[in-house]
Amino acid sequence: MADDSYIKDPSARLDYTWDWGPWLADVSDTIASATVTVPDGLTAAAEAVVSETLVTQRVEGGDLDGAYTLACRITTVGGLIDKRSLDLTINNR
């Protein structure tokens, strides 16, 4: 799973999703828990949602021309821990 970059409007409230499916298939495991770290300047508009191999976080806010990194950390049923990040740049759309 590669890290991703997105452009977000400062007034948008959007969902961002990490797809752990291919990695989980490689290690023959499933997600036990997930935590998404939302940096200062952005707001988590809801709790992160885990749905099988996907983790989704709804985010709002951000300062125009700001750059932010969201981090998703999972623990698997088998005890593995991994983290993936995505970058948001805030621009008018």
Domain range summary for the chain, segments of one domain joined by +: 4-90
Q: Does residue 1 surpass a pLDDT of 60?
A: no
Q: Rounded to two decimals, what is the model's pTM?
A: 0.90
pLDDT tens profile 11-55:
999 999 999 999 999 999 999 999 999 999 999 999 999 999 999
Is pLDDT above 90 for 2?
A: no
Cβ-proximal residues to 66 (8 Å cutoff; 6+ apart), any chain: 41, 89, 90
* Tokens of residue 4, six digits: 């991703």
Q: Which one of 2.120.10.30, 2.60.40.10, 3.30.1370.140, 3.40.50.620 gives the CATH number of domain 4-90?
A: 2.60.40.10
Strand 49-51 relative to strand 67-76, pairing: unpaired
